[in-house]
Amino acid sequence: MQKRAPGAERRGGLPRFLVLYAALYGAYGVLSPILPGFLAARGLTPAEIGLLLAAAGALRLGIGPLAGAFADRHRAGRSILAASLALAGLSTLAHLPGVGLAQLIAPALLYAVGTAAPAPLVDALALAAARGGAAFQYGWIRGAGSAAFIAGTAAAGWSIGIFGLAAALVASGGLFLAAGASALALPADRARTTRAGAPWHGFAALIALPRFRRTVLVAALVIGAHAMHDGFAMILWRSAGIAPATAGLLWSVSVAAEVLVFLLVGPPLLARIGPAAGVAAAACAGAVRWAVLGSTTAIPWLAAVEALHGVSFALLHLACLGLIEATTPADLRTTALALYGTLGLGLSGVAATLASGALYGSFGASAFWAMAALSLAALPLVPGLRDR
């Protein structure tokens, strides 16, 4: 059998990852804004919806790192990714006949299990295939994922207006299954040594790395500070008399900036200034963004700082992945990304969201200043992120 030329392998890897990221994040984009409404339409009370979503979130926090550790120990990233996505797709479709909490709790928890691991698994596979940018830039495929998320959200709004809420679940389930099939076509895991021992040995080895601990902590601070914006920006803007269409455009500015940084701006910028400086820039951009939201609802100012989302989120994510790739052993890379996603993104977001509710209820728009302080708290950690 004739071997594929190295150049052909590089060209083949990028399209396959683009398809996978588009299907995965498109599935999330279709389902994420619709699922609570679907559950309500199927008879769940607000308390039951909150309980179900909280249980699903807690399950993801436990399953994600364990799946990452298993993938590292057995070099089974592709297989676990494909199985997880298949479970996500089938459990999404399994919501359709359910009515009431008793019938929907099993599909919801299976969906949580299926969606716990795909993000760190696919990122680990993509970083390995990208080979530090020699084959392609990770930001290209992550940007394609963000664009697909936007397209999925827009398509969901259109489809449910014609076919009802169930159409979004059918579309999302189909996209998850397509992503699972495309995962099997990814380049094989590159040969590397595996580490014996229980999963917590890998967790302990990673936590013992100072730069990895700091990377997770700065992500928790800077990305956690986005929680108040995600939960209360629209409420603030509506209370200030900003029309829903205008508020939607403001939100679109932030997402467009995210895609732009992932695709075009972020990779060459980080190549020039380094990931530690990228983290500092993200922290400062976040602080400016939240300070403005805490000070004014003038639309020109809001539009300007919403564009900073490309720096406060996308550039930070690229910088953190670069730091994780540079500072963690290859045989623990998926575990590291799972811990980053669980602690740096997931758990911090939950904690910051809980705090945001109390702060916004007490102080209104001025509560955004607390998020500015949270972003700035990452700056003292930046010197420890530099490669010595």
What pLDDT digit, counting tens, does each position of 13-51 carry? 889 999 999 999 999 989 887 888 888 889 988 788 878
Q: What is the pLDDT of residue 331?
A: 85
Q: What is the residue whose two structure tokens read 């994420």?
A: 32
pLDDT reading at 2 higher than 50: no
Confidence of residue 342 (pLDDT cuts 50, 70, 90): confident
Sign of CA dihedral 7, 11, 17, 20: negative
The secondary structure of residue 195, as a DSSP letter, is: -
Whether 136 and 10 have beta carbons less than 8 Å apart is answered as yes
d(CA 356, CA 296): 18
Q: What is the pLDDT of residue 94?
A: 96
Confidence of residue 352 (pLDDT cuts 50, 70, 90): confident
pLDDT at 103: 93
pLDDT at 5 over 50: no
Domain boundary assignment for the chain: 12-185, 203-384
Greater confidence (294 vs 188) lies with 294
Q: Please name the helix (run of DSSP H) or strand (run of DSSP E) that holds residue 77, with its range, or none.
A: helix 77-94
Ramachandran sector of residue 183 (left: φ over 0; alpha: ψ -120 to 50; beta: rest): alpha
| Dihedral sign of CA atoms 148, 150, 151, 153 in order | positive
Please write the tens of the pLDDT for every residue from 224-265. 999 888 878 888 898 899 888 888 888 889 889 999 999 999
Position 189 scores a pLDDT of 61
* Whole-Å CA distances, 157 to 23, 49, 89, 154, 239: 18, 21, 20, 5, 24
What does the pLDDT read at residue 193?
A: 53
CATH class of residue range 12-185:
mainly alpha
Residues 6+ apart with CB under 8 A from 253: 303, 306, 307, 309
Task: Report the alpha-carbon distance of residue 95 to residue 88 in Å, rounded.
Answer: 11
* CATH code of the domain made up of 203-384: 1.20.1250.20
Cβ within 8 Å of residue 209, ≥6 positions away: 327, 328
Rounded to the nearest 10°, the torsion over CA 142, 147, 149, 151 is: -160
How many Cβ atoms sit within 10 Å of the Cβ of residue 90?
17
pLDDT digits (tens, 9 = 90+) for 83-115: 999 999 999 999 999 999 999 999 999 999 999
Q: Averaged over 121-135, what is the pLDDT? A: 87
Mean of pLDDT values over 120-125: 91
pLDDT for 62-88, tens place per residue?
A: 898 888 888 888 888 899 999 999 999
Of residues 199 and 126, which shows the higher confidence score?
126
Lowest mean pLDDT among 128-137, 166-175, 188-197, 268-277: 188-197
Kindly indicate the confidence band of residue 191, based on its pLDDT and cuts at 50, 70 and 90.
Answer: very low
From 173, 176, 174, select the one nearest 122 (Cα to Cα).
176
pLDDT score, position 196: 53
- Does the pLDDT value for residue 376 go beyond 50? yes
111: nearest Cα among 100, 127, 95, 123: 95
Provide the mean pLDDT of the chain.
87
Q: Identify the band that residue 161 occupies on the pLDDT scale cut at 50, 70 and 90.
A: confident
| pLDDT score for 195 | 55
Higher model confidence: residue 273 or residue 157? 273
Nearest to 337 by CA among 58, 138, 57, 111: 138
Q: Which of 140, 127, 168 is nearest to 30 (CA)?
A: 168
Residue 118 CA to residue 122 CA, distance in Å, equals 6
The count of residues in the chain is 388
Identify which of 279, 374, 260 has the alpha carbon closest to the alpha carbon of residue 324: 279
Q: Mean of the pLDDT values across residues 276-300?
A: 96
Tell me, what's the pLDDT at 201? 66
pLDDT at 215: 95
- pLDDT above 90 covers a percentage of the chain that reads 52
Q: Residue 197 has what pLDDT?
A: 56
**pLDDT (tens digit per residue) in 141-157:** 999 999 999 888 888 87
Residue 386 reports pLDDT greater than 90: no
CA distances from 143 to 14, 53, 267 (A): 13, 27, 11
